[in-house]
Amino acid sequence: MIPRGGFISFEGIDGSGKSTQARLLAAALQEQGRNVVLTREPGGSPGAEEIRKLVLEGAPDRWSAETEILLFTAARRDHLERTIRPALTAGKIVICDRFADSTRMYQGLRGTGLRRMVDSLHDLMIGQEPDLTLLIDMDPALGLRRALGRNGGEERFESFGQAMQEQMRQGFLDLARAAPDRIRVVDGARTAEAVAADVAQIVAAHLDRTLPA
């Protein structure tokens, strides 16, 4: 039998604390002796990191939503082939900061018919979901304040503003309602330690069921 690790993703609006929580979870699992790969999207493999630069830097209208769907899916395919699948096959736990749910929201909500396009391309080219997704939920005003507090050149999506972020928050919560076995909602508007404690509990219960130490 091929050994099979665990695939965990973090999702949520910009600034919700996904990267912080992904790092804390990876450290906690490593401390328990688990073999962990911490990765992110867009990116997570050399080729996908190159696509990340194309898609996150530059003017907000640099790409159409349709082209973005292709670029994010191309990056995901490379990430899956080069990083995620080899790690899962080796029995490792993959913790991924964003995955396909982000494309469903960030590109899929931008116009009529786009969500269907995202899902069709996902079925054709990716065909895999995380075993467990932690949705870090919070008021977009707080997320935006936190996100804008960071500096960097990757501002294409952060200029969307609060109305779009609110639509995305609701969209993420709808996804969670539609896939309650995979997606667990965590209240992100608390200290990083309090959020991490919830995350640790959910992940421990999940791993006890699927991947006993």
- Examine residue 106 and tell whether it contacts ligand TYD (CB under 6 A): yes
Binding window for ligand ADP (CB under 6 A); candidates: 18-26, 28-36, 58-66, 69-77: 18-26
DSSP string, 96-146: EES-HHHHHHHTGGGSTTHHHHHHHHHHHHT----SEEEEEE--HHHHHHH
Chain positions 25 to 84 lying near ligand ADP, rule: CB under 6 A, are none
- Examine residue 19 and tell whether it contacts ligand TYD (CB under 6 A): yes
- Examine residue 192 and tell whether it contacts ligand ADP (CB under 6 A): yes
SS3 of the chain: helix, strand, coil, percent, to 5: 55, 15, 30
Q: Which does 115 bind (CB under 5 to 8 A by kind): ligand TYD, ligand ADP, none?
A: none
Q: Could you give the string, one character per residue 112-151, with x where binding to ligand TYD holds by CB under 6 A and - elsewhere? A: -----------------------------------x----
Of 1, 104, 87, 91, the residue nearest 45 (C-alpha): 87
Binding window for ligand TYD (CB under 6 A); candidates: 11-19, 23-31, 193-201, 205-213: 11-19
Cis peptide before 212 (omega within 30 of 0): no
Q: Which does 149 bind (CB under 5 to 8 A by kind): ligand ADP, ligand TYD, none?
A: ligand ADP
Q: Which amino acid is at 94?
A: V
Q: How far apart are CA 176 and CA 174, in angstroms?
A: 5
Both structure tokens of 105 = 């929201």
Q: Using CB under 6 A as the criterion, which residues of the chain lie in contact with ligand ADP when the complex forms?
A: 12, 14-20, 146-147, 149-150, 191-192, 195
